[in-house]
Structure 1
């Protein structure tokens, strides 16, 4: 069993010293560091290496929970992956420790609230889309060509004009002309 640390700082100007010192104090024997790597990236080279390295019985230690995942869902997915592989997790700042029953319970509670948050966002989104549709608004990007312009494009095509010439005439891309003529 080993304590394996993970450090992440978002910009090259930030220093990992605070995290590094805290992990050393916590007894971390090996550390992986993503320096100047945004947390919004799903794939981070050193986090990926850490996930390949850890084994059953190891404990992944971070200074703060937000250093691990890019958002709640990603963090919980990583924690579930670690748990499935028999790897524990500790967050020093929040005092979370999945190696004990209280830590596992706290992570479960956090997961429940994250799921509730996702469900509420989904409900609000669906309600907002339905309200917009009831007001006659349709989502998506506006069409490049009106029905009249599509008819004009078809007429030009029948007269023998090429797609690029038609696109230039109507001020749209050649791909828009191909889509309009195909439909």
Structure 2
């Protein structure tokens, strides 16, 4: 019988260190981590690997419920699968465990509130975008034209033989943005 931890961060630049430390303190002898993977995806490399290692009597431990799944239906389906295999589940932050009689009920309620919170955030975002549109503003990345100073600077630095990564450091833009600027320049030149 083992205790396996699962940690997840949504973007590649986030750090799972806090989650992993909490899972070690909770007694996990092995931790599986997904970096840059959304919790809405049913299949995740770290999660899939952990699920393959689980045996009856094992325990899955997460730092928070939303690390395991981002919507109530998927989260509960995953926990149902674990219970069907004889694997227990525990969330450190919420203090929920499926080993107790109230654990399953609390898990359902907590995941429903987490889903409600995400839905409300999405609703507020849509309302904010609609309000901005009413005032003539549009959401998303600002459009950059060929005459923009950074586009011209990127072209000049490229002509000097600098790489897009170096150009990005100089003008304060990502490498992908530099490539976009250079494409703008090449389209304008044709």
TM range (shorter): 0.5 to 0.7
Name 2:55's counterpart in structure 1. 55
Aligned partner of 1:7 in structure 2 is 7
Where 2:102 maps in the other structure, the secondary structure is helix
Q: 1:24-83 CA distances to partner (integer Å, 9 max, x unpaired)?
A: 100000111001111122210111111111111111000000000131110000000001
Q: Residues of 1 paired with 2:109 and 2:25: CA distance?
A: 28
**Cα distance change of structure 1 residues 74 and 21 upon mapping to structure 2, 3 Å threshold:** same
Q: What residue in structure 1 maps to residue 81 of structure 2?
A: 81
Whole-angstrom CA distance in 1 between matches of 2:21 and 2:107: 25
2:72 and 2:108 in contact (8 A); partners too: no
What is the aligned-residue RMSD (CA, Å)?
A: 1.8
> What is the TM-score normalised by the length of structure 2?
0.56
Number of residue-to-residue matches in the alignment: 114
* Structure ID, larger Rg: 1
Q: Which runs of 5+ in 2 are unaligned?
A: 117-190
Q: Distance in 2 between matches of 1:63 and 1:70?
A: 14
C-alpha deviation, 1:7, in angstroms: 0.5
Q: Is the 8 A contact 2:76 2:108 kept in 1?
A: no
Instruction: Judge conservation of contact 1:3–1:60 (CA < 8 Å) in 2.
Output: yes
> Contact 1:42–1:70 (CA<8 Å) still a contact in 2?
no
Uncovered stretches (5+) of structure 1, i.e. residues with no partner: 118-183
SS in 2 for 1:75: helix
Worse-matched range after superposition: 36-45 or 23-32: 36-45
**Which residue is equivalent to 1:179?**
none
| Alpha-carbon distance change, 109 to 38 in structure 1, aligned in 2, over 3 angstroms | closer
Q: Secondary structure at the match of 2:41?
A: coil
Partner residue in 2 for 1:95: 95
Moved over 6 A (4+): none
